[in-house]
Amino acid sequence: MDKITQKLMQKSESTKKDSLGRAISLAALSLIVIVVISIFTFVMSRGLSTFFHDGVHVKDFLLGSTWNPSVINPQTKQPYIGALPMILGSFIVTFLAAIVATPFAIGTSLFMTEIAQKRGAKIMQPIIELLVGIPSVVYGVIGLTVIVPFIRQIFGGSGFGILSGTIVLFVMILPTITSMTVDTLKSVPRHYRESALAIGATRWQMIYKVVLRAATPGILTAIVFGMARAFGEALAVQMVIGNAALMPHDLTSPASTLTSVLTMGIGNTVMGSLQNDVLWTLAMILLLMSLVFNLVVRAIGRKGELK
Amino acid sequence: MTDSKQKNILETRDVKLWYGQKEALHGINLNFPQKGITALIGPSGSGKSTYLRAINRMHDLEENITVTGSFNFNGTDIYAPTTDTVDLRKRIGMVFQQPNPFPFSIYENVIFGLKLAGIKDKSALDEAVEKSLKQASLWDEVKDDLHKSALGLSGGQQQRVSLARVLATSPELLLLDEPTSALDPVSSHNIEETLLNLRNDYAMIIVTHSMSQASRISDRTAFFLSGNLIELDDTKHIFLNPQKQETQDYVSGRFG
């Protein structure tokens, strides 16, 4: 084999670099996949051992309304591990926060993209980004020192409860939903707006009948993302919700969420005990819910594409 | 040239337009008769689209654009402070370069303008949809799919949906901003046929890059160059016997 043939048969320098790059990307990807699988396996195995190892009925866990894992129920010889109060608490604060935040988020994003683009970009954008970046403990402290006393004054009671939690979460998810809605509205093609106006729509008709409608899948995605964030938020909610694992019966009495019970309890239990396992089960529910939120987002995205 | 004998639908005088400090139109005087197609031709940047968009005040959407001059549209001063742009744009329809149906069904697209006008009667809407789609030569192709998304149509069909959407509102004047430049030759041909069928009912102004298109469909042609109107005449005169050297050079392909 002469030199030229040899040279042609060899991999070139760029081809080698190419395969190196591919190998690095693949390694990074595999690492992430391994981490995700490990987390899932670990949480699931701990969480499910409540049912398989400790012999708790799924029904008792999901529908039981008394939570006190360190006390044994004399009738069933099982600890009180009804997680319904927390499950309900989590869902209620999440949905309420999303319901309150959505109109504000849509209004803010419309203002930024359709009404005052320049001021929107100059003033609102940094503010929203700042709000996203504030650590949740700061929101919690403000909730504790401002909102809780405020609620106490107006509604009486301790001031801790679902209402306070909702208000704190509303402020926390507002920037998330807003910034994603802004991105969605910006991606609505300019020619939709032009042709709506050219046919004689007023600005509001254009926004309402064309822009918002074209952006609906994106806005729904933004709301679900906000809900996922609210559902998973632990610290700030824990500081204002009162952490009483009771069935929520009104908005201003102390309640709890999955996350708040989890963070409060996990340090005080022994690994492998039932008291510890049930907390893992709560974590498992959180994980499964975030999976559900993800699937919902994907489903909305797919539906949006088909249009 | 029949201008002088019939009342013009649109008379513009001394139209000047600035992008910031830069003057892009240097005083255009153009009149358009009640019916028929006027083509605006000229190289890129000659100001023909800019002029067209000034007619229905689309430049209002941009900042930093100043328009002066008089626009008399069937007795309405287009740039008078009291003129309602929403009402104005209902009377002046526009079709854009990119086919741009909304992401709704064909039916909803066509009735969009009518709904804005407050028409709710189902049978009137049905009738308008059929009539406009027929006018846009699209009815036979889509009559069974009216409630499917308009985005599933081909580019040429989408452009005819855009056209039907505008026709449904019965505008007095139709502006067409390079309506076929994003389409394949067959679709372009369909659009041209459609426009030819409408020429007796509507006043149309079409901006086009294609000189052959201008010569095929327009009654009159205006040649723009660097923000000036060089020449306006019957189409056949512009292409066969232009008066100005620049027009001669452009239509014979010597520059542009």
Tell me the per-residue pLDDT of A119-170, one tens digit each, with 9 for 90 and over.
777 888 888 888 888 999 999 999 999 999 999 999 888 889 999 999 999 9
Residue B18's H or E segment, with its range, is: strand B8-19
Count of domains in chain A?
Answer: 1
Measure the CA–CA gap between B231 and B46, rounded to whole angstroms: 13
Give me the phi and psi of B71, to 5 degrees please.
-125, 110
Look at A198 and B104 and tell me if their CB atoms are within 8 Å.
Answer: no
| Span A208-251, pLDDT tens digits | 889 999 999 899 999 999 999 999 888 899 899 988 888 888 88
DSSP single-letter state for residue B16: E
Give me the phi and psi of B142, to 5 degrees please.
-120, 5
With a pLDDT cut of 90, the percent of chain B lying above it is 4
Contact list in B for residue A213 (CB cut-off 8 A) is 102-104
Whether residue B186 lies within 8 A of chain A, CB to CB, comes out as no
**Domain range B8-100+173-251, CATH architecture:** 3-Layer(aba) Sandwich (3.40)
Nearest to B239 by CA among B217, B214, B209: B214
- Residue A270 confidence (pLDDT) above 70: yes
Indicate the average pLDDT of chain B: 86
pLDDT computed for residue B186 by the predictor: 85
- Residue A24 confidence (pLDDT) above 90: yes
Measure the CA–CA gap between B171 and B249, rounded to whole angstroms: 36
pLDDT computed for residue A305 by the predictor: 59
Whether residue A7 lies within 8 A of chain B, CB to CB, comes out as no
- Residue B2 confidence (pLDDT) above 60: no
- Residue B238 confidence (pLDDT) above 90: no
Q: What is the mean pLDDT of residues B46-57?
A: 89
Provide the pLDDT confidence category of residue A1 given band limits of 50, 70 and 90.
Answer: low
CATH number at residue A157: 1.10.3720.10
pLDDT computed for residue A307 by the predictor: 47
The counts of H helices and E strands in chain B are 11, 10
- Residue A36 confidence (pLDDT) above 90: yes
pLDDT computed for residue A89 by the predictor: 92
Residue A76 falls within a domain, yes or no?
Answer: no
- Residue B6 confidence (pLDDT) above 80: no
Provide the pLDDT confidence category of residue B144 given band limits of 50, 70 and 90.
Answer: confident
- Residue B4 confidence (pLDDT) above 50: no
Measure the CA–CA gap between A226 and A180, rounded to whole angstroms: 9
- Residue B183 confidence (pLDDT) above 80: yes
Contact list in B for residue A201 (CB cut-off 8 A) is 86, 116
Nearest to A244 by CA among A80, A67, A64, A62: A67
Look at A307 and B149 and tell me if their CB atoms are within 8 Å.
Answer: yes
Look at B58 and A197 and tell me if their CB atoms are within 8 Å.
Answer: yes
Q: Where are the alpha helices (DSSP H) in chain B?
A: 48-55, 85-91, 106-110, 112-116, 122-135, 139-142, 155-167, 185-198, 211-217, 235-240, 245-251
- Nearest chain B residue to A304 by CA: give it: B103
Instruction: Assess: ipTM above 0.95.
Output: no
Contact list in B for residue A209 (CB cut-off 8 A) is 112, 115-116
Domain that holds residue A183: 84-306
Whether residue A304 lies within 8 A of chain B, CB to CB, comes out as no
Provide the pLDDT confidence category of residue A106 given band limits of 50, 70 and 90.
Answer: very high
Whether residue A45 lies within 8 A of chain B, CB to CB, comes out as no
Indicate the average pLDDT of chain A: 89
Q: What is the mean pLDDT of residues B69-89?
A: 86
Residue B29's H or E segment, with its range, is: strand B22-33
Measure the CA–CA gap between A252 and B27, rounded to whole angstroms: 70
pLDDT computed for residue B100 by the predictor: 86
Residue type, A134: I
Whether residue B83 lies within 8 A of chain A, CB to CB, comes out as no
Cα–Cα distances (Å) from B198 to A64, A248, B36, B132, in that order, read 73, 68, 8, 11
Give B68's Cβ-side CA count (13 Å radius): 8
Nearest to A88 by CA among A63, A106, A121, A107: A63
Where are chain B's structural domains? 8-100+173-251
Whether residue B58 lies within 8 A of chain A, CB to CB, comes out as yes
- Residue B5 confidence (pLDDT) above 50: no
- For B95-115, b/e burial (b = at least 16 CB within 10 A) is bbbbbbbbbbbbbbbbbbbbe
